[in-house]
Amino acid sequence: MRHRKSGVKLNRTTSHRQAMFRNMVTSLLKHDRIKTTEAKAKELRRWADQIITLAKRGDLHAMRQAMSIVREKEVVYKIFQEAGERFGAINGGYTRIFKIGRRAGDAAPLTIIELVSASDAKPAAGKKAKTQTKAAPEVQKAETNVSAPVADSVAETAAAESDAEPAAEIPEATAAADDDNAQSDETEKQPDQAADDSGDTADDVK
């Protein structure tokens, strides 16, 4: 049982295992990615995270600690110069592992382990913003659904008022029509009366 035991032995002695991981972490920091087995890659993450955390500190003691692990001084100088800008927005998890199949011969699972950067962490914030923008139209849709019945009721009342107004205007229209008919009758009667008067005057003259 491996109670309270961290790390793996990988069927190697302590000195062999430490020398192997020192070489691997040096190659990873130098070339940004290496190919190895899955078990070694998972253990190598711990070594790489430790070195990058020291590089983000950036003081002299941290550099000396990193040089006690990394084989090449140029690699230490490089990672200490780039750590602030490259890993400043990331807190842990400075590596990424890709599975690429199995090795020919013993069928061991192979992986590629590589370093990530701050630009790789930006899509997560983009996803959050996307979910927030998706939630906003739903709220607007709910508001439009609430306002729709109010608009319908206002339209119904306006239609009812418009129906009532023509009904009230109908008597006025009929009264105006009656007045026009009466005036036309009077005008027709006036010529008849004038003709009768002219006939009476002609009889009187005779």
Extents of the domains making up the chain: 14-119
- pLDDT attached to residue 202: 47
Backbone angles phi, psi at 50, to 5 degrees: -65, -45
Mean pLDDT, the chain, rounded, equals: 78
Q: Does domain 14-119 have CATH number 3.90.1030.10?
A: yes
Answer whether 95's CB lies under 8 Å from 111's CB. no
Q: Say what percent of the chain tops pLDDT 90.
A: 49
| Distances from the Cα of 157 to the Cα of 14, 148, 163, 165, 174, angstroms | 89, 14, 10, 12, 27
Q: What is the mean pLDDT of residues 40-67?
A: 96
On the question of pLDDT at 188 being above 80, the answer is no
